[in-house]
Structure formats: C-alpha cells, structure tokens
Amino acid sequence: MTDPDPSKKVADRYLKREILGEGTYGVVYKAIDTHTGQTVAIKKIRLGKQKEGVNFTALREIKLLKELKDPNIIELIDAFPHKGNLHLVFEFMETDLEAVIRDRNIFLSPADTKSYLQMTLKGLAFCHKKWVLHRDMKPNNLLIGSHGQLKLADFGLARIFGSPDRRFTHQVFARWYRAPELLFGAKQYGSGVDVWAAACIFAELLLRRPFLQGSSDIDQLGKIFAAFGTPTPAQWPDMVYLPDYVEYQNVPAPPLRTLFPTASDDALDLLSKMFTYDPKARISVQQALEHRYFSSAPLPTDPEKLPRPAPKKESRTSDFDLQQGPTVLSPPRKSRRVMPGRDGFEGNSFQGVKDDDGNFGDFRQTVGDNTGKNQPVPMSVDFSIFGLKSPNRPTINSADRSHLKRKLDLEFQQPE
C-alpha cells in the first residue's frame, strides 16, 4: 500500500489528503472534490484476485447503492476504477458511533440513546424497503456528520464484494453483532440479521460497552444463551435444522432487567423483541420504529443537540482554494479515536483500547480468531505510542461461515 500523495489528483478530480483508516476493503482517505470544493472520503477497494469478479453485476449493484438516498444513509457520490482499484467516493463524516460510545467525557441520556437508535433504524428501514441488507452493522459503521446526523456506512458492500482476502478478514462481519442463525451457519437469512446487530448496538449504547463479547463463534453463542437462555425448539423451531447446529447445555434466562438496570420498561420491551431468537418471529425494523419506546417520554434528542466527541483539529476545508489546492494537513483522523485506557473506567464505561484500524481489544480475555495468535494484553498499554496494533476486535471471517464442528477441530490442531 502506498501513502497518498496530497498533491496528486485522482481521476483528474479528487485531491488526496490524509489516510483516514484501513477498512474492510482497503484504505480510506480524505480528499477534496475539486469540482465542488466538498470534502469527501474515498474508499479504495483492492480488487486483487477478485478483479474479474468485479464485473457488470458489481457495477450494477454499485449503481443501485448510488440510488439509495436517505438522510440516514451515507451518500455514495461517485464510483470509478483507477489504477486497477475501484474508488468509491462518499460524503465525509466527522466521527462515528463507536467513538461516541467510547468517549468517557460523554454522558448519553435516555433521550440521546433513543435518538441514535432511531436514526440507525430509520437508515436500516429505508434499505430493507429496497431489499438491501447491511450485514455488517456495528457502531463504527454508523458515521456521524457535523450536524449530529447518523448515517449507515458500508451498506451492501459485503454482498457485492464478499470477504476480501484472508489478511483482512478479521475486519469483516463483526462477531459480536452476529445473529444466532448466522452463528449456526444459516445460508439463507434475511433482514433479521441486521435487526439483531441493531439490538447489540442498542445494548451497547445502554451499557457503554459491547454487550456480547464472544471470543469465538462458539463462545459467542454461549454468551448469547447465557444472556437470553438457551433457545428451545419450541421457541425457534428451525434452529435444529441449521447446518452448524450443535446442542448447548440448557441455561435459563436471567431477567433482562438485571442485564440493563438503567433501561426503561419500554426500552427493555423493544430490546427483547429485537433479540428474539427465531428470525421469523423477530421484530422488523419498521415495527421497531413504531414501538412505543420512540413515542413515549423522553422523546429522542434533536440530532443537532446530541453529544459528540470534541472535534480535534482537522484540515480546514474552508482553507481549500480551488485554484491553489489544500494548505493544511492534519494528523490522520484515526488518531483521535485511540482511547488510551490508562485509567480504569468506572461503572458501565468502556474498557478497551482501539487500534489504528478501528478495532479494540477486550483486555479481560484473549480475543481474536481461532488461531490462538492473539494473546491477552495488559489493560493500560497504549499501543499508539509504540506504533503497534492492539489485539483486533474479534470479527467473523469467511472461514467462520463454514461448519462450527470444523472450527472446533481447528482449535485442537493449533494452526501455525
């Protein structure tokens, strides 16, 4: 990967600025659209071996994404191939929900949580109406603009591009947000997977830490069952027919109230409907939006008034002169989202450190894929100081989609 040269124009139009981060499909950098003066984020998608795969079908899908216009969906402004890579140009967003949840200076009131959840569901509802699934819902894919508006990012990309090569698969399909049907290997699934993930995000907003932090697929299911009780065939009749179904020990569900002591009754009711095991019985996004949680007091906070992380010094877009080009280079936006985690966090706040890729480790346990490569790390290490990466936030890769039984075998074989 080469660093962007800020003086270079891409496709005769976009002036490259700093790298914003490395995402699921490749590097993302800030740029100025010299036609409009607008700041944009360009996602450079490595086509690699999939070069032949990004064919007319993919381009048609991208065209569809360009037409998905909604206030709660990030706008895909442009898409073009350049030097063998596909470039997707999005509106630039200041921060994301993960940064909000992690920021210990931010107090999220019940009305704030309601507002963030409502915007998330509104964006999802629009896409589900257009038959597009997200499949990678997680707080750092919920971007937040300068007026507090939350927008879903990376919509449909998982479906178009699938899993990138294995080196990057740790960033695909966050395990902690995966629905139980996916963890049991369902090949056919629907919008319910996004509802489950949205429920995990709702829970994370309430707790200020990821709710179900499984260290493997099996552990993830174990965590889900510990929270909601092992599902019975009566509760979820299709479960036993799923490809990777394995029987788990029966554990009863603790009262939901004990897991979310500060949540209102309405919040708990909606949460339980979104966390329904049987995807056929799970509430839809539209029904969730119509739930009384959103109409009862307190009403959702106006996005403009929502608490957000204090803005760091950015490259000032107003400095941009269409004749002269950009003058200020700011440090990568990513750096502001590294949470040192030096002090212990109190109460329900976050206890991890985020790395350059937008992942963070849970230092109370060994996290990662099933290779056993990730080692437990002491809580107070600030990786950014040493230019090291913290253990990755565990995510699901394409291999995870194969049989859980095979994965169990792999664990015993201790690969590499």
Beta bridge partners of 41: 30, 90
How far apart are the C-alpha atoms of 68 and 81, rounded to whole Å? 20
| Chosen residue from 119, 125, 143, 174 binding ligand AMP by CB under 6 A | 143
Interface with ligand AMP, residue 92, by CB under 6 A: yes
Longest CA–CA separation in the chain, Å: 68
Catalytic residue at 3? no
Output 149 or 272, the one with its CB closest to ligand AMP: 149
* Residues ≥6 apart with Cβ < 8 Å to 390: 352, 353, 354, 355, 359, 360, 361, 377, 381, 383
Interface with ligand AMP, residue 213, by CB under 6 A: no
| Residue 51 is labelled as binding a ligand | no
| Chosen residue from 110, 231, 279, 358 binding ligand AMP by CB under 6 A | 358
Among residues 308, 302, 275, 378, the alpha carbon closest in space to that of 98 is found at 308
Interface with ligand AMP, residue 392, by CB under 6 A: no
| Residue 21 is labelled as binding a ligand | yes
Interface with ligand AMP, residue 93, by CB under 6 A: yes
Half-sphere exposure of 122 (CA within 13 A, CB side): 17
Residues 253-292 that bind ligand AMP (CB under 6 A): none
Contact 398, 162 (CB under 8 A): yes
Alpha helices in 173-295 (DSSP H): 180-183, 192-207, 217-228, 256-259, 265-274, 285-289, 292-295
Interface with ligand AMP, residue 142, by CB under 6 A: no
| Chosen residue from 62, 68, 73, 74 binding ligand AMP by CB under 6 A | 74
Note the Cα 47 to chain centre separation in Å. 22
Residues 10-39 that bind ligand AMP (CB under 6 A): 20-21, 23-25, 28
How far apart are the C-alpha atoms of 180 and 193, rounded to whole Å? 9
Output 355 or 369, the one with its CB closest to ligand AMP: 355
| Residue 387 is labelled as binding a ligand | no
Q: How far is the CB of 20 from ligand AMP (least distance, A)?
A: 4
| Chosen residue from 10, 15, 31, 41 binding ligand AMP by CB under 6 A | 41
**Residue in the shown chain whose Cβ atom is closest to ligand AMP:** 23
Catalytic residues: 136
Give residues in contact with ligand AMP (CB under 6 A). Answer: 20-21, 23-25, 28, 41, 43, 74, 90, 92-93, 140, 143, 153-154, 358
